[in-house]
Chains A and B, each alone.
Chain A
């Protein structure tokens, strides 16, 4: 319902304030840390890309953002009766609304801004040669977490008169999430993923991310 209202707002506003509605695209390099089941701290290095659409007012913006992270590392995770330890590749997608405050601090054309917002994310772990400590984990199986958290970022963006000049931005971003649910999935058929088990109450799995992000305003 909120999404539909936001779309109607976008639709009504886009035609009267077109130049203040923006789409940005960026790339980032990140470190993700998972405090997992056995309280081992697992680091995942990687990177990815992100995008956001926003509505700009005089000194603030409201919008929706997405952050995609691809990385690798070692971890100990489980879902249901299955517990797995080993190196894995991770694919993480975080989506959420954000508020951006454009501060009066400037350095030349560059304006300092602060951005924050809640985040809902999904992390999917694909293990290679895992050590299965309980349950079964054949090839094609993956573990997915659904998490909830927030982020804060500090950055600078070029303050240009027109969007057509495609201003650039860079920022440092910190995010924190708590896993809500864990799923064991059979993804051996890439067109149709089957959920085998679901486990609620995974709040002991906490995810921290630190990213350096650089990007451009497309339109």
Chain B
């Protein structure tokens, strides 16, 4: 209880700074553009590699108890209705799907294209990564990208609204709702530039939020 009270007092004392309008004309939006096929495959590849990296970290217990190459072979190509509780099917999977959707949106894809790309990414995960522990699930195949996109659309709308309030509090929560707006691929808000000046070599990091 005490940390909550301290948090409220802190927010109250800082409220004039958090809610003060900042002097900027920048308008947050999602710039959309066309993509080459090579870009599409690169994005899918990056997301796929990240899913292989994160899966053993997030589900370490499941991998210890249920994961094996034997399971991988047996589960390959199988499709079942899983009996998971709503914590997974209505919570974790749509949330993961929303992050996929938002990743593609901040990379310039339209809403429809982001849904399609999220579909491809989550299908690849279901059929080639998660089968290490369990067969691909019908609910997950649909709900991760589709319900995820609906959740992602809500987060996108709320995030943009907060970012465009031009207040510090709005910017903080807007970026928390869509963390991908802090990355370099979102409208150049973060830049990493090599610098060379005779003997000195380095990198210049610039972030604007």
Q: Is B141 touching A11 in the complex (CB atoms < 8 A)?
A: no
Could you say which residues of chain B place their CB within 8 Å of the CB of A64? 142, 146
Could you say which residues of chain A place their CB within 8 Å of the CB of B84? 193
B15 close to chain A: CB less than 8 A: no
Q: Is A11 touching B123 in the complex (CB atoms < 8 A)?
A: no
Could you say which residues of chain A place their CB within 8 Å of the CB of B2? none
Interface of A is mostly: strand
Q: Is A183 touching B153 in the complex (CB atoms < 8 A)?
A: no
Partner of A122, one of B83, B123, B142, B146: B83
Within 8 A of A (CB), among B190-204: none
A190 close to chain B: CB less than 8 A: yes
Q: Is A51 touching B147 in the complex (CB atoms < 8 A)?
A: yes
The smallest beta-carbon distance between B131 and chain A, in angstroms, is 14
B29 close to chain A: CB less than 8 A: no
The smallest beta-carbon distance between B146 and chain A, in angstroms, is 6
Q: Assuming the A-B contacts A11-B117, A122-B81, A218-B150, are A3 and B112 also in contact, with contact meaning beta carbons closer than 8 angstroms in the complex? A: no
B40 close to chain A: CB less than 8 A: yes
B149 close to chain A: CB less than 8 A: yes
Could you say which residues of chain B place their CB within 8 Å of the CB of A93? 89, 139
Q: Assuming the A-B contacts A95-B139, A219-B112, are A191 and B83 also in contact, with contact meaning beta carbons closer than 8 angstroms in the complex? A: no
B125 close to chain A: CB less than 8 A: no
A42 close to chain B: CB less than 8 A: no
B85 close to chain A: CB less than 8 A: yes
> A: which residues have CB within 8 A of B?
1, 3-4, 7-8, 10-11, 14-15, 18-19, 21-23, 25, 51, 53, 64, 66, 91, 93, 95, 120-122, 124, 144, 146, 183, 185, 187, 190-191, 193, 195, 218-219
Known: A18-B113, A144-B83. 8 other contacts (CB 8 A): A7-B119, A21-B116, A51-B147, A120-B138, A190-B86, A190-B87, A195-B83, A219-B153
Give the 7 A-B CB pairs with smallest separation, nearest first.
A14-B116, A219-B111, A190-B85, A21-B112, A122-B81, A10-B116, A7-B120
